[in-house]
Amino acid sequence: MTDWKPCKPEARRPVVLLRTVRFSVLHYVATAVVIGTAGTAGTPATAHAQTDEQRSAARAAATEGLQAMSEGRYKDALDLCTRAESLMHAPTHLLLIARAQAKLGHLVEAQEAYIKVTRDTVAADAPHAFVDAQHTAAEEGAEIAPRVPSLKVDVEGATPQEAKVTLDGAPLATALIGLAMPINPGTYTLAATGPGTEAGPVTLTVAEGAKQTVLLSLKTPAPAVAVPVTDGAQSEGAASHGHGGLRAAGWIGLVIGAAGLAAGTVFVVLNHSETADATSLCSNDKCAQSKQSAVASDQSSANTDAAVAWVGYGVGAVGILTGAALLWAGSRPSAPAAEPATARVVPMFGARSVGLRVAF
pLDDT digits (tens, 9 = 90+) for 243-278: 667 777 777 867 887 887 787 787 777 767 767 776
Residue 199: predicted pLDDT: 92
Question: Is 350 inside a domain boundary?
Answer: yes
Structurally, the chain folds into a number of domains equal to: 3
* pLDDT score of 195: 92
pLDDT digits (tens, 9 = 90+) for 86-136: 999 999 999 999 999 999 999 999 999 999 999 999 888 889 999 999 999
Same structural domain, 249 and 341: yes
**Is 21 part of a structural domain of the chain?**
yes
Torsion of CA 336, 339, 343, 348, to 10 degrees: -130
Which of 151, 176, 92 has the alpha carbon at shortest distance from 126?
Answer: 92
Higher pLDDT, 281 or 73: 73
Of 171, 196, 217, the residue at which a domain comes to its end is: 217
Indicate if 235 and 203 belong to the same structural domain: no
Q: How far is CA 203 from CA 16, 136, 167, 215, in A?
A: 52, 37, 10, 12
CA gap 336, 234 in Å, rounded: 9
222 within domain boundaries: no
Q: Identify whether residues 135 and 175 lie together within a single domain.
A: no
> How do residues 311-353 score in pLDDT, each as one tens digit?
777 777 777 777 777 767 767 665 555 455 555 655 665 555 5
The domain of 254 spans 230-359
Question: Are 70 and 138 in a shared domain?
Answer: yes
Sign of CA dihedral 72, 78, 80, 85: positive
Q: Do residue 252 and residue 290 come from a single domain?
A: yes
The reply to whether 239 and 156 lie within a common domain is: no
108 with 72, same domain: the answer is: yes
Does residue 174 form part of some domain?
Answer: yes
Helix, strand or coil, per DSSP, at residue 150: strand
Answer with the one of 159, 193, 217 that is the final residue of a domain. Answer: 217
Residue 29 counted as domain residue: yes
Indicate if 157 and 69 belong to the same structural domain: no
Beta bridge partners of 151: 181, 212
pLDDT tens per residue across span 282-311: 766 666 666 667 767 777 777 787 777 777
Q: Do 119 and 101 belong to one domain?
A: yes
User: 331: part of which helix (H) or strand (E)?
Assistant: helix 292-331
pLDDT at res. 272: 74
Flag whether 6 is in a domain: no
Range 60-86 average pLDDT: 96
Q: Are residues 142 and 188 in the same domain?
A: no
Same domain, 206 and 235: no
